[in-house]
Structure 1
Amino acid sequence: LSFWGHPCARLPPTGCGEPSISPSLHHTERIIKGQNAVPGSWPWQVSLQNRFRSHFCGGSLINENWVVTAAHCEFKPLFHVVVLGGYDRTSRSGSVQVKNVVRVVTNPNWNSNTLSNDIALLKLASPTKLGPRVSPVCLPPADLHLPDNLQCVTTGWGRTSINWCFMVLLSPSQESLQQVSLPLISSSKCAKYWGSKITSSMVCAGGVGASSCQGDSGGPLVYQDGGLWTLIGIVSWGSSNCNVNTPAAYAHVSHFRNWIDSVI
């Protein structure tokens, strides 16, 4: 599954998972190397930042009022904001919206020791203004079956040099939004790397020379289904040195669909 779309704008989407600006992907690129995304082509991507504009995690817009991210990002409404419509993570251009958060709902089964159920929902203080550069991603059904080797995409402002990359950002990230195409890995194959750390609340992807890396925590893992991009994973954890030959773990969004619906 390769996407060679041109960055031509269409009318703003009316639903979910349909960028007005088409993404352009190449299988050989990875966030470790650093492939810049087409500006505006992943309109659900958000940056979680502190009040000094420092990016520390990613997230995904799922409707005009809610963002989903990783629980381990530990978003604090008093100290943090959600930035939407950004490409350069420090920009405050006309398309950028900065939102306060009035409610953080962490999954009640989140376990910081095992990293299971690594998902949280952020309610924005005011509705997002949807448009060509800001629109929601689709959510999967609760019973979605994900085949092995399904081609997916993850995005973020992650590190592009191979260094330690566990969880939240501790060093400068990329200025421009990065993207990588990588395959889904079955739980049994993933367990060969990670053993019993892999639970039903997780999906795995990568391990074939591509990886999501530090600074991408909380960001999206998506795939295209019938022309619509669907959120199937939330960047959670991986190897301590961003090994591109080891799959990374993502919160399994389909596993949490009923919980998400009960909150939003």
Structure 2
Amino acid sequence: MGRIKLIVSLLWMSLCECKVAMYGHLQSPMFPEPYSSDLHMRWYLKVPHGYKIQLTFNHLDIQPSANCTKDSLTVLSDDEVLGKFCGQSSTDSHHPGTQPILFPVNHLWLVFETNTGPQTHLGFFIFYQVVGAVDCGLPKISDPDLMALTEENPLTTYKQNISFKCLLEYYQLVGDANFICDASGNWVSDSGQNASENPPQCVPVCGMNQETFSAGRIFGGQDAKLGQIPWQLLVNSTAIGGASLISDRWAITAGHLMITYESETPEFFGGMVDGLDQNAVRMKTEKIIVHPLFDKDPGRTDYNHDIALVKMSARVPISPKIMPVCLPQKSNGPAMEGKMGTVSGFGLTHQRLVSRLLQYGHVKEYPEATCFKKGKNVTDNMFCAGEHGVDSCNGDGGGPLVVPMVGFGSPEMPFQIKGIVSWGPSGCGDKTYYTKVENYLDWIRETMEKN
């Protein structure tokens, strides 16, 4: 028998402007009589975008074979095989059963092929119908305290639009804001972002300060003003030191400082420039994570991997006086990229006293060859910076070195944390080694995501 080709179009009719009824049936030739061999038949079903096709196999009796390599009925959408069926009952592994199967597409090809000899198998009888328009539903918002939809009760069916917005000041939307419900039931933006797989997020604005002021010093420096270095945090318990806020839940600091606190939960203080400020923002810690490769032995020969992350037990209230600093971009040259930066902290001043007020000073990066006589191992995870008479000192450990210099930041050039105060000579006032933050970007992001 020669091959037979047949295309059947979907019957549909408009019942009214608001409803569309689309249904019908397909059957193998001569059903309910046995089908013949050497058949190749095709049916094409298509409905408007936004609708889905449901098939109900009222009867299917096709010669069983492993993986349906002999006789088969294949359901395809474009070039994708959505199902390949054969067998006589629902107990057969490739039998579709009699329950409705919903295909989330608006067009299907059904291909019936036979190559066995004369037999008694009856073929199939299928009822098809169109299930109502695609409804993407309301997208899940992971943190409703920070984000919401711009409309309270938006329409969520095919081709409808939704938009996300941040609820709090000093937060910005990362990712696309506008999405459309596509024919597959997903909220997708013009750029292809899927709101379920990769939802937009509201994150604090980083690297901004309230004002810019003239330069100063930390060792031999001048006082910072409130809101000038809003990412600066202070820990003042077992050991005094600094840290930097990098999100509304996380801070970054030095590993050598945090190993002192691994058995306790220290408080951090921020949003102040006076270490005794009773209105400072107090932050309880939930978790301290020191880099796993940092040597915790007090007799360590180097400070390699001197970095730690601290998770706060609650969201930090972002405001002009307390705001995160940006993480740096990866550079191919010197850590500070030839720029002057600013180091800050509550450590020793030129009078060798712990400062009650937040100090800051401008420093530059030095090649290793011109740095101080080390006495410790130096690695590529460190860099040396300082300036004559300007330096970080005892009590500044864990604090930030940022670029550009304080006083020169802008929305186009936000402050980035390039270094963490790590170690230096017993005498201050010249140069210090800093942990090179850009070398740990993957570890920082992975740690924050998993914790």
Q: Is the 1:18–1:228 Cα contact (8 Å) retained in structure 2?
A: yes
Corresponding residue for 1:6? none
Shift of 1:143: 4.1
More divergent stretch after superposition (119-128 vs 221-230): 221-230
Aligned residue number for residue 213 of structure 1: 393
Q: What is the alpha-carbon distance in structure 1 between the residues aligned to residue 311 and residue 416 of structure 2? A: 20
For normalisation by structure 2, the TM-score amounts to 0.49
4+ residue segments displaced more than 4 Å: 11-14
Partner amino acid for 1:230?
Q
SS of 1:259's partner is: helix
Confirm or deny that 1:34 pairs with 2:215.
Answer: no
Matched residue of 1:101: which SS? Answer: strand
1:1-264 matches, within 5 Å, as 12=170, 14=172, 15-19=205-209, 21-26=210-215, 29-50=216-237, 56-74=240-258, 75-76=261-262, 78-93=264-279, 96-112=280-296, 113=300, 114-143=302-331, 145-146=333-334, 149-161=338-350, 173-190=354-371, 193-194=373-374, 197-224=377-404, 226-242=412-428, 244-245=429-430, 247-264=431-448
Structure 2: any 5+ residue segments left out of the alignment?
1-168, 173-204
With over 3 angstroms needed to count, the CA separation of the structure-2 counterparts of 1:101 and 1:160, relative to structure 1, is same
Partner of 1:5: none
Residues 49 and 55 of structure 1 are in contact (CA less than 8 Å); yes or no, is this contact kept in structure 2? yes
- Residues 1:88 and 1:76: Cα distance change in structure 2 (over 3 Å): farther
SS at match of 1:239: coil
2:265, 2:286 within 8 Å by CA — same for their partners in 1? Answer: no
8 A Cα contact 1:77 1:102, kept in partner: no
- In 1, the alpha carbon distance for the partners of 2:262 and 2:376 equals 31
C-alpha displacement of 1:123: 0.3
Contact 2:420 2:435 in 1 (8 A): yes
Classify 1:55/1:34 alpha carbon distance in 2 versus 1 (closer, same or farther; 3 Å). Answer: farther
Could you list the per-position Cα deviations for residues 219-249 of structure 1 after superposition, in whole angstroms to 9, with x for gaps in the alignment? 000002742100000001111011x23x200
Structure with more of its chain in strand, by fraction: 2
When residues 45 and 55 of structure 1 are mapped into structure 2, their CA distance, relative to the original with a 3 A threshold, is: farther
Q: How many residues align?
A: 235
1:169-215 CA distance string (max 9 Å, x none): xxx5211110001111123433x632772211111101432111111
- The structural deviation recorded for 1:86 is 1.6
Given that 2:331 and 2:337 are in contact with CA atoms closer than 8 Å, whether structure 1 keeps it comes out as: no
Q: Which structure exhibits the higher relative contact order, with contacts defined as CA atoms closer than 8 Å and separated by 6 or more residues?
A: 1
How far has the Cα of 1:262 moved from its partner? 0.7
The residue type paired with residue 398 of structure 2 is G
Structure 1 gaps of 5+ residues are 1-10, 164-171
Aligned residues: CA RMSD:
2.2
